[in-house]
Amino acid sequence: MANRAQPKPQTEQKHPDEWNRDLNPDRLAGQNIGSASSAAPDRMNRTAYDVKPVHRALRDMADDELKQIPILEAGTRLQQGATYLDLERGAFTATAEMSVHTDQNVVPKDGVHYETWNRLTRE
């Protein structure tokens, strides 16, 4: 017997269309279901080279290396369970409700080479 995929409970719409947006404004926020959104590549359009305070703080790194370190834009929702580095506060694992604040410089672990990650976290 073929094993059919069961629909995930998050995908079920529980309210009528006219009320759904009011009752669930961020219905799937923080959920790791489905394919990656089309906005994912856009979240990494700034680099440590472009953000002057970060560039100055990481002055021991070459410009080519700084251009390979993505800095997430303010407002970017973080993926639940993924590891990130806040350059002022250290590494952390994101929860579903987390997003980047305007005063943060956040690097996604999956966006950098492991050797660069180790240098950033000083491991």
pLDDT tens-digit map of 37-48: 444 444 558 999
In a domain, 23, yes or no: no
Q: Which structural domain range is residue 96 located in?
A: 38-121
Which residues of the chain carry a pLDDT beneath 50? Answer: 35-42
What is the total count of domains within the chain? Answer: 1
Q: Give the C-alpha separation, 28 to 26, whole Å.
A: 6
Sequence-distant (6+) residues with CB within 8 A of 44 are 70, 72, 108, 111
pLDDT score, position 16: 78
pLDDT score, position 39: 42
Average pLDDT, the chain: 83
pLDDT score, position 33: 62
pLDDT score, position 37: 44
